[in-house]
Amino acid sequence: MTHLTSTSLNHATVAATSSTSVEVLPSPAVIKRQLQAKPALLFEVQQHQQSIHRIVNGEDARMLVVTGPCSIHDTASAIDYGRRLAHLSAQVSDRLCIVMRCYFEKPRTTVGWKGLLHDPSLNGSDNMEQGVRLSRTLLLELAAMGLPLATEALSPLAISYYDDLISWVAIGARTTESQPHREMASGLNAAVGFKNATDGSFATAIHSMKSAASPHAFMGVSDNGEVGVVRTGGNVNGHIVLRGGNGQPNYDALNIARCQHALRDAGLNERIMIDCSHENSGKDHLQQPNVLSDIAEQVSSGNRSIMGVMIESHINEGRQNISEEMEYGVSITDACMSWEQTEKSIRALYEQCG
């Protein structure tokens, strides 16, 4: 489909107002030609998308497991993580569909590092062309490992640079209510998970699912940088992601049942994914395995509405601030589980969901 993108054919900086300027980026079409995915790889991504669609719609009994760093800031550790995950995935693929989390944009409460796509040098230089190229290059390498890949679509303009490599998309709690994000989601080929609102309520995500499932027409920009009317056919593979809210978890059996009834009343897909971090873990990364264990117990006890989980995980646990001497494989945004904790938890989930 056609997505929102930056416009222009050259790299000049154009003054817009006394306080605003526009640094022109190459169009998505240009970047995709220069960093081209081979047809066989694109076909494999499409197969991953279809597999996830079947899980979302209850046609595949496997559980979807989206796991990876809170955000990617170092490509070397991301590739390291990807190789480990691909090896683990091959051993559990009969019961679990493992998807690597590749988040290049981070929403900020006020200000702060906005992600690899925005500031790949981690120094406020905001070289977004380098960020776009680095992000797509990394996705090409990870996809070549056979991994389905996931990202959060924070900017409707950014995802057009790598939507052909993504198998699952998240819309965050703060953007689920956004009309441009609902319009964007309606044209994506990948399944889209809408997180519940930050207050823990389900209504906003339910409204987003309804909106994204419908066709839309809106003003946008083509992959070649031409302004026009974007027309989408609707995305019927939307689902809700429970992440807690107002300091309270919502992965327990009662909240799952409440959510299921709300989805049923709205005439929507009753399949539910659970984010094991955020309020569901009390913002304590070490509690994520406990959340996973509870979810696995609900599934093994017969709950068929739970179809997936999200985990924040890296090579090493915890988080760190940006500095000259950072520890390898440690998040610079939210704290993450270590690889050892992640592998142990996923293997336990595999056993419990057998």
**Cα end-to-end span (Å), the chain:** 38
Q: What is the DSSP string of 157-189?
A: TTGGGTGGG-SEEEE-TTTTT-HHHHHHHTT-S
Residue 1 resides in a domain: no
What is the model's pLDDT at position 58?
A: 96
Residue 177 resides in a domain: yes
Residue 134 resides in a domain: yes
Structurally, the chain folds into a number of domains equal to 1
Residue 291 resides in a domain: yes
Phi, psi dihedral angles at 286 (to 5 degrees): -75, -10
What is the model's pLDDT at position 18?
A: 60
Write the CATH number for 167.
3.20.20.70
Range of the structural domain that residue 313 is part of: 13-352
Residue 101 resides in a domain: yes
pTM of the full predicted structure?
Answer: 0.93
Separation in Å, CA 238 to CA 15, 54, 114 = 40, 12, 26
- Give the burial string for 233-254 (b: 16+ CB within 10 Å, else e): eebbbbbbbbbbbeeebbbbee
What is the model's pLDDT at position 17?
A: 52
Joined together, the tokens standing for residue 57 give 């719609």
Q: Is 21 helix (H, G, I), strand (E, B) or coil?
A: strand
What is the model's pLDDT at position 8?
A: 39
Q: Which of 236, 86, 105, 195 is nearest to 149 (CA)?
A: 86
Residues 68, 18: Cα–Cα separation, whole Å: 41
Residue 7 resides in a domain: no
Residue 8 resides in a domain: no
Which residues of the chain are modeled with pLDDT < 50?
Answer: 1-12, 14-16
What is the model's pLDDT at position 11?
A: 46
Q: Which of 273, 260, 257 is nearest to 308 (CA)?
A: 273
Runs of H (alpha helix) within the chain: 28-34, 39-56, 75-92, 128-143, 179-185, 203-212, 253-265, 288-300, 339-352
Residue 113 resides in a domain: yes
What is the model's pLDDT at position 353?
A: 83
